[in-house]
Chains A and B, each alone.
Chain A
């Protein structure tokens, strides 16, 4: 049998299937596009992420690496073949799915593993799942679920008034573990055109387009080509309008490798077979010394400054002075879902369903590019397979929108891993120096910080990083004299944008190194030194903002006992000698929630229909962090109805009011406060309607509201009430915008209305001969003000710690070199330490129910705590990240002289 067969037969989830398909086609493609089984996810097409894991004759393989022919005659099992198994239930119970993009791969791998080994150890489970990457969870809850994959009863939904504080399973978890969630690549209407981009092979470069019509004619099928000339609106966008500088398609010059210069569209079979290297375009290398943007001298996008008191004088008069420098590389978000989406026309409205963290910003920017009235563009966020900041920026939205508008056909685009990594934003590489001084008692008297942040080819969120860094670089410590400057500087390199923490994680690495030095010089315990300097209620920040509800001291206090135990344990272990040295490190964080000194309102609508459907228009995009669940919990308790009775709508710019972007750790706080206000307003309406007391109990049964208080019981027949324009007989819509003030020329003002605080402790061992570092435990104390959902909060901590560990030890994006997930390393199951979360509740006067944001805070202290622990273990300070083994060993040798 030496000839290609016309058809291939196999069994998929028990059903025989015969396919007229190319035997060399990736099985992942055949399953997803041929059979519509899109529960199998594609993250890398290279076997690096395991998201596409399916079972063939019971054994896990990467479907992306399996030619269809090799599945011929065999039994293939996909996530669609799992039906509410004990493992899937355990995933829900343990919060093992956050964004959910890795979940099908995890489930399939674990299913095969548990078949072989029904009662595994934790280490065995970690090894078995070592080939599936997750960027959200830090793996702990996934492993917990695998070890607890017994049939269990789902957690009871909390009763009315008891949602906040409960370990509510995520309300949107079901589709994630069933594989039915719709991510950017999973919607494909009939007659959809596939879109691909022609991208710059290097930068800076100028280009001239050749004879496109001749090229099109030479292709085996119809190919549409669009370039910058075809863009009907303004070919310029940016997340911060005054700095908008990025074209949707480059016009004459490419400022970064991977920049899109043209798009091709057509039938999938034609487009996927195109050799885009034959596209008629002539590239010319450009002067790398020329300004990236002519209107920005010295390539300076912007500098952020905060000055308070006289820092130089304070340092001159300090008893102890420390000086440090640190350098961090580009960090890739490495979500497992590359950018993807589909656009189509509904009448004269363009609809885009794509991955995003910011649907309304997408709408406004894309409408401007496409020359549309924003009301004629509807953004339906696809489930986001991870975002972490990068999906705040538009990527393919204008490109697929353009094709849909021009052709009238639905248009779909799925980035390859390489183009996702090359063309989308990164964490800013930073070069930082700093000095800090303390008095004889160990009190900080002043600090100076200076940092260059490589902001890449376009502005993106560079201004935000330059603004946030000087505000936060003091750490959550009282610093009476302070001078900090952060500059966002352009280069012909990847665009640095938003990434969990907006530059603050980099700055904390420097500041916490200074604090270790000062503690040492002052002869103080490192935790005690931080505790002495921790901001207190009523003290002013470096911006002169007097804070209340400051939780850093409580976080440090919560670490005191584990800190002392860890130090004693490290001392004992080190006394035994040997090639390993043990160390303990500590670092803190603070982080302002919401936009810096700028409005960022959220609006929540909640209503009840005549039939008694309780509906929450929840416009905060849930990228895995849990907005769908926690916003509902808050609204439920404000209203006084059980969280299980809510039906969720959105986010969808056609259906939900604007809840802003999912960034800046703002959703639980800002949208949560809008949800609190909306819930309270609806409750007030119901109480007014029934003329009942404020503490009355409300129940919703069928189409009747029953309101009970000490005086008796009233019934509201919902069918008797008139519906509003949204179809609700009772509704409330409330907006909340944090009260902040812009910073003055010295960075003084009230940039944020709410801050969150935390401190983490790292325990690790260093191999003194090889320079390898094994982090064994992270103890993370975070002040949440009020814990809405401990299960989801733990998930945030564990996931943030994983990203912080990656930042410290292994992650480094090098353009053109690490555009894949085997050269760009993120932590696997085997790299994660035990993570112990300690939640502290110091209520914030402004936050809803006293709560504060958490999402970004959790990542900030991890890397500095690890670096400080390496120093404690070895005496070596690693100043250039990541702390790869050869760098650690070199630092050890240097420290030993």
Chain B
């Protein structure tokens, strides 16, 4: 029987990591499907027994999503509208069963190109907090996940939290996911949009796309185009060409690449419409 560590403190977890290579486990919703075995492939460090790593809290200048926070925890947390997209994504992660076990941090550590949390967290300028027994560092999310199934996590390191800087929590947000069925589906394309609109003008725009590149992508050029524009008819400024230029979608069993790029653009327009129509109505 391989060792199974389930400490109740962060220090305990980091001590285990410092000693030997282990598989870090949280919700296990990706680890178990990766094996046909009856047990996890060990040795295992299970971080779900550490109360300090669970929950969404507000601290100086940021929101902290602890590494053992489940999707259900996110859905139930009191959060500003900028997090609506993350909650909407949470409700589309697998099923209620998966949302109850699976964690937000696990979703990014698994580094799937189709990770539902990634576009939303990218549009929230998420930072990843990483600890060892010796120090703590933070990395921007899109530096942390640096390829399909690849992260910048070094041996001995543990993701302890995802941090959302307060500056990125302004405005309203929307997540849209496209798949070939309603529930339990891996997306063909998905988008997350956060818009901060004041006086009918876009003050800040964050747009990201998932499942259309090796890693979720922030559309910075398009964001720059939209910022400062009137909210009125904003979606019309999102062209297929501008979106496609930022993506590198592949052909696979779910869709072909050109369709993915087109769908991403269409979903972005719809997400923007959803967010700007109230502004239009108010104008």
Partner-B contacts on A (CB < 8 A): 1-4, 22-26, 29, 45-48, 50, 53, 59-62, 64-67, 69-70, 72, 109, 113, 127-128, 130-133, 272, 416, 418, 769-772, 809-810, 812, 814, 817-818, 820, 822-823, 825, 827-831, 882, 884-886, 889-890
Contacts and interface: CB of A to CB of B under 8 A. Distances in A.
Contact of B256 (A53, A823, A886): A886
B46 interface: yes
Contact of B28 (A66, A113, A812, A884): A66
B4 A884 contact: no
Nearest to A55: B100
A464 to B, nearest CB: 29
Chain A binding surface SS class: loop
Contacts of B32: 26, 45-47, 64-65, 67
A522 to B, nearest CB: 35
Ranked 3 nearest A-B pairs via Cβ:
A131-B95, A830-B182, A130-B183
Contacts of B72: 59
Contacts of B266: 769-770
B241 interface: no
B266 to A, nearest CB: 5
B37 to A, nearest CB: 7
Nearest to A25: B39
Interface in B24-38: 25, 27-29, 32-33, 36-38
B98 A47 contact: yes
A163 B33 CA distance: 47
A814 B252 CA distance: 11
Contacts of A127: 91, 183
5 contacts: A61-B100, A65-B32, A770-B266, A822-B185, A828-B184
B79 interface: no
A23 B7 CA distance: 13
B39 A22 contact: yes
B185 A825 contact: yes
Contacts of B7: 1-2
A810 B181 CA distance: 7
Given A50-B97, A130-B95, A823-B253, A272 B182 contact: no
Given A45-B36, A62-B101, A825-B185, A4 B1 contact: yes
Interface residues of B, number: 55
Contacts of B91: 127
Contacts of B4: 4, 22-24, 67, 69
A881 to B, nearest CB: 12
Nearest to A829: B183
Interface in B245-283: 253-256, 259-260, 262-263, 266-267
Contacts of A822: 33, 184-186
B48 interface: yes
B113 to A, nearest CB: 14
A286 B180 CA distance: 36
A873 B63 CA distance: 47
A810 B179 CA distance: 10
The listed residue with most A CB atoms (<10 A of its CB), out of B46, B94, B262, is B94
Contacts of A47: 29, 32-33, 94-95, 97-98
Nearest to B45: A2
B254 A884 contact: yes
B46 A810 contact: no
Contacts of A814: 253
A1 to B, nearest CB: 6
A338 to B, nearest CB: 12
Given A61-B97, A128-B96, A884 B255 contact: yes
Given A46-B33, A47-B33, A1 B12 contact: yes
A855 B6 CA distance: 51
B36 A416 contact: yes
Contacts of A2: 5, 7, 12, 15-16
